[in-house]
């Protein structure tokens, strides 16, 4: 019985979508702009990487061709030099939003047709009712921040005051999110999680997609750094995803990285949550090696987004892409006859773009496996085609969202 592995390269978009202008993102192109920057020397960093962007394994699968199909431009150094051995194309998001839940839910067969709630870019950003109830129920001395901000800058701004007062640092962004930062030792990790659980309940009224715990450590003298114990408290998908369908069919499921959080731990099987791209990829490969027949591994690699996209770090992003590409042969070696691997993304986060937020982009779709027929799968009019293809490959019927590109 066939098996499948789905890897989401978080934020690796390949060109502004047709409606990008309405999001302020017309002209964004995460991968294309990274490749261009590397070709011009703006992707160089001493001790990290130098020269053009090198992704030979993904290029061999058709990555450059997918970029060209999306934008009508071939990014520097991504043109294939020989026969392409993967199924390649690009996906168009139909969901309202450019956030993590919208992208992942649509991939899994549940496009977001409703409007998320957002907090305004004002000071204060949060409704007084929300902050008053959060402070009272969580027994906080107060909150700090209460505005739109990047996660690293707001901890630097308020970290010392947080340690002095015990107040939680609360902030948001253009996404549908409430983020709560606190010192992992001084404030306590479990206490932070409990504050976020309360925040999750309070945010339901405002249709906020996620409440995110952002623990950090350090001192004002040494500086503050976020730890790997981030935890997302998401609202659950409004209808069954492919995870639910596979669970109902009794199929083995392994989810890696923040997939469990994104789907509110519903039908997410055995959850593995290491810290960092490398550790998550290792866990996904190990899970694939041990996966029973008919099983599914669903992995998210978040560092592209959290460590490099939001921080507008072009060399760091390029280096992370190259590190992933170097490990592609390990994925191939873990496969059995009949297996299908799909590599995609959930949105963009162009590190050359203004601001620090996600960008509304098409996403690459690369499929490969011992018996996968190479060639173009074209423009897919919804990310949901990915989920439909996985179900078709695994032989699970009775699901109508999305269109599989498999013909057998």
Low-confidence ranges of the chain (pLDDT < 50): none
Helix runs in 166-258, H state only: 189-203, 242-248
pLDDT given at position 258: 95
pLDDT given at position 1: 86
pLDDT given at position 260: 96
Reference 405, options 375, 385, 379; nearest CA is 385
Domain boundary assignment for the chain = 4-114+238-394, 128-234
Reference 273, options 229, 243, 235; nearest CA is 229
pLDDT given at position 41: 98
Q: Are 197 and 233 in contact (CB under 8 A)?
A: yes
3-state DSSP assignment of residue 224: strand
pLDDT given at position 96: 87
User: In the numeric block, which tokens belong to residue 156?
Assistant: 């630097």
The structure's pTM equals 0.91
The Cα–Cα gap between 171 and 184 comes to 17
Name the phi and psi angles at 238, rounded to 5. Answer: -75, -15
3-state DSSP assignment of residue 199: helix
- H or E segment to which residue 38 belongs: helix 30-39
Decide if 4-114+238-394 and 128-234 have a common fold.
no
pLDDT given at position 43: 98
Domain 128-234 falls under CATH 3.40.50.300: no
pLDDT given at position 355: 86
Q: Which residues pair with 8 in a beta bridge?
A: 300, 344
pLDDT given at position 152: 83
Report the sign of the C-alpha dihedral through residues 267, 269, 271, 277, in that order: negative
**Separate counts of helices (H) and strands (E) for the chain:** 14, 14
Q: Sheet with 4-9: list strands edge to edge.
A: 270-272, 253-256, 296-301, 4-9, 340-344, 363-368, 87-91, 375-380
CATH architecture of 4-114+238-394: 3-Layer(aba) Sandwich (3.40)
Predicted confidence (pLDDT) per residue in 171-214, tens digit: 999 889 999 999 999 999 999 999 999 999 999 999 999 999 99
The Cα–Cα gap between 284 and 287 comes to 5
Q: CA-CA distances (angstroms) from residue 192 to 33, 90, 196, 277, 381?
A: 37, 39, 6, 24, 40
pLDDT given at position 71: 98
pLDDT given at position 174: 84
pLDDT given at position 360: 97
The Cα–Cα gap between 183 and 189 comes to 8
């Amino acid at each position: 019985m066939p098996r499948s592995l789905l890897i989401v390269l978080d934020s690796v978009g390949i060109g502004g979508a047709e409606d990008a202008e309405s999001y302020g993102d017309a002209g964004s192109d995460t991968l294309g702009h990274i490749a261009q920057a590397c070709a011009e020397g703006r992707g160089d960093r001493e001790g990290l990487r130098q020269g053009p962007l090198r992704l030979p394994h993904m290029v061999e699968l058709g990555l450059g061709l997918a970029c060209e199909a999306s934008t009508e431009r071939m990014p520097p150094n991504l043109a294939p030099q020989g026969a392409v051995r993967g199924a390649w194309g690009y996906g168009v998001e139909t969901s309202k939003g450019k956030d993590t839940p919208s992208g992942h839910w649509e991939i899994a067969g549940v496009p977001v047709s409703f409007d998320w709630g957002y907090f305004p870019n004002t000071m204060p950003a949060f409704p007084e009712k929300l902050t008053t109830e959060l402070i009272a129920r969580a027994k906080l001395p107060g909150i700090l921040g209460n505005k739109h901000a990047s996660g690293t800058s707001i901890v630097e701004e308020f970290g010392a005051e947080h340690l002095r007062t015990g107040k939680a640092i609360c902030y948001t962004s253009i996404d549908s999110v409430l983020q709560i930062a606190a010192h992992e030792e001084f404030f306590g990790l479990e206490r932070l999680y409990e504050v976020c659980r309360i925040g999750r309940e309070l945010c339901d009224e405002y249709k906020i997609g996620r409440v995110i715990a952002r623990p950090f450590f350090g001192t004002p003298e040494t500086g503050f750094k976020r730890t790997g114990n981030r935890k997302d408290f998401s609202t659950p998908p409004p209808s069954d995803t492919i995870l639910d369908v596979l669970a109902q069919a009794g199929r083995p499921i392994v989810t890696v990285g923040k997939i469990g959080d994104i789907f509110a731990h519903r039908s997410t099987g055995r959850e593995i949550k290491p810290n960092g791209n490398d550790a998550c990829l290792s866990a996904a490969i190990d899970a694939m090696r041990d996966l029973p027949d008919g099983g599914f591994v669903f992995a998210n690699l978040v560092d592209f987004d959290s460590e490099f996209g939001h921080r507008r770090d072009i060399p760091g992003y390029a280096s992370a892409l190259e590190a992933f590409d170097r490990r592609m042969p390990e994925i191939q070696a873990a496969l059995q006859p009949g297996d299908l691997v799909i590599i995609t993304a959930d949105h963009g986060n162009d590190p050359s773009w203004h601001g620090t937020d996600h960008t509304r982009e098409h996403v690459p779709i690369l499929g490969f496996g011992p018996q996968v027929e190479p060639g173009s799968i074209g423009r897919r009019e919804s990310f949901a085609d990915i989920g439909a293809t996985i179900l078709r490959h695994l032989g699970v019927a009775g699901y109508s969202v999305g269109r599989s590109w498999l013909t057998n």
